[in-house]
Structure 1
Amino acid sequence: MCRSFRWLLLAAVVVLTGCAATGPRYAEVESNFPSLRPGYGRVLVYRPAGMGAAVQPEVRLNGELIGKAQPEGFFFVDRAAGRYTLTVATEVRATADLELADGATVFVQVGISMGLFVGQPRLTVQSPATAMPQLAALAYTGSVPLVAGQARGRQADAALPTGPAPGRAAPPGQVTLDDLSGLLPTR
């Protein structure tokens, strides 16, 4: 019995410690964030440490998959100013309606609380004053290439994927040239 308990405890430790996000920290890459194009805003999604580390639900913006809510991680997407719905689901679904203003950043915190079978997500729109202290130690998990400690110039910013141009949406699941341009080396 004691031997089984030790194996169970070891397995739990391995699962829980392997769930935190890895990557450069917010404080290391913040200076690399691409400049926002005119008419665009930024949605920054983050999940501080907390319960339910093994639960990492997909995050969708107007139905489009934009990332995963990893513990101790954050990511961002740039989209045309307007109204959006952010959705996260496990056994229940949580939504947040966002008003994305030109040049503004909306900070959305993902939390996981106890559920019947799986942790239940909750979304909270936070002020910059609340979000910034929490973000400092979180790891970047996004798809826009950022390098710790290197500042980007304005020309490099233009090459980063920022989503479809205003009034021109790409069909869900399709990759646009804007998406691929961020993968090319800058000159």
Structure 2
Amino acid sequence: MQIFRLLVIAVAIFLTGCGTKGPRYAEVEANFPTLRPGYGRLVVYRSGGLGAAVQPDIKLNGELVGKSQSQSFFFADRIAGNYTVSARTEVETTLDVDLVDGGTTYVQTSITVGLLVGQSRLTLRDESTALEHLPRLAYTGPIPLVPGVNSIAGRSTDMRTRASPVTLDDLSGLLPPAR
């Protein structure tokens, strides 16, 4: 009976996981960098569900771009073209996507029941479906986005008074100097 209780507790922890912290999509959407000409944006999100503790890496053509975390999203900007999004737990799951010049492609991730660990599911979503989920999700991407404030490259400016949106060139201040 003791083993059964421990098993139930372990399953409960596995299924609930921890809530993701960070600014919400609705708070930072205005701070997204402007896409450079010839680039498309991939937004990957996970709105919850089964297996919150399972957080597989998300790769774009084999390059790590983020983690599938419950109640979160991130984005990656790449040269427009065809790409393969992948996630791996027990098995590798892939999805082919087309990043359109100046456009945004949305991929929803989820975890389904697996033999030992939950398995990833990747689903292409249209913008209206994605925007139903995104506003309440936490941003977990590598570019620092602060609600209402642009603190990139040492500037701290209220975005409501800034004349133009943040560009990828503005982000160059985050990188160490070239040697």
Whether TM-score is above 0.5 comes out as yes
Percentage identity across aligned positions?
A: 53
CA contact (8 A) 1:26 1:140 kept: yes
Q: Does 1:182 align with 2:174?
A: yes
Distance 2:13 2:110 in 1: 22
The residue that corresponds to 1:106 in the other structure is 105
Unaligned runs of 5+ in 2: 150-158
| Aligned counterpart, 1:72 | 71
> Structure 1 pair 64/130, CA: closer, same or farther in 2 (3 Å)?
same
Give the residue type in structure 2 aligned to 1:182.
Answer: L
Letter in 1 for 2:90: E
CA 1:9–1:147: 2 relative to 1, 3 Å: same
Deviating beyond 4 angstroms after TM superposition, the runs of 4 or more aligned structure 1 residues are 7-18
**Aligned residue for 2:122?**
123
- Name the TM-score, length of structure 1 as normaliser: 0.78
- Equivalent position of 2:95 in the other structure: 96
Shift of 1:106: 0.3
AA of the residue aligned to 2:129? T
Q: Which amino acid aligns with 1:47?
A: R
Cα shift at 1:20? 2.4
TM-score under structure 2 normalisation? 0.81
Q: Helix, strand or coil for the counterpart of 2:136?
A: coil
1:26 aligns with 2:25: yes
* Aligned 8 A contact 2:17 2:51 in 1: no
Superposed CA RMSD: 2.4
Q: How many residues align?
A: 164
SS at match of 1:66: strand
Identify if the C-alpha distance between structure 1 residues 14 and 116 changes in structure 2 by more than 3 Å, giving closer, same or farther.
closer
**Shift of residue 63 of structure 1?**
0.4
Distance in 2 (CA, whole Å) between partners of 1:112 and 1:14 is 15
The change in CA–CA distance for 1:155 and 1:126 in structure 2 (over 3 A counts) is closer
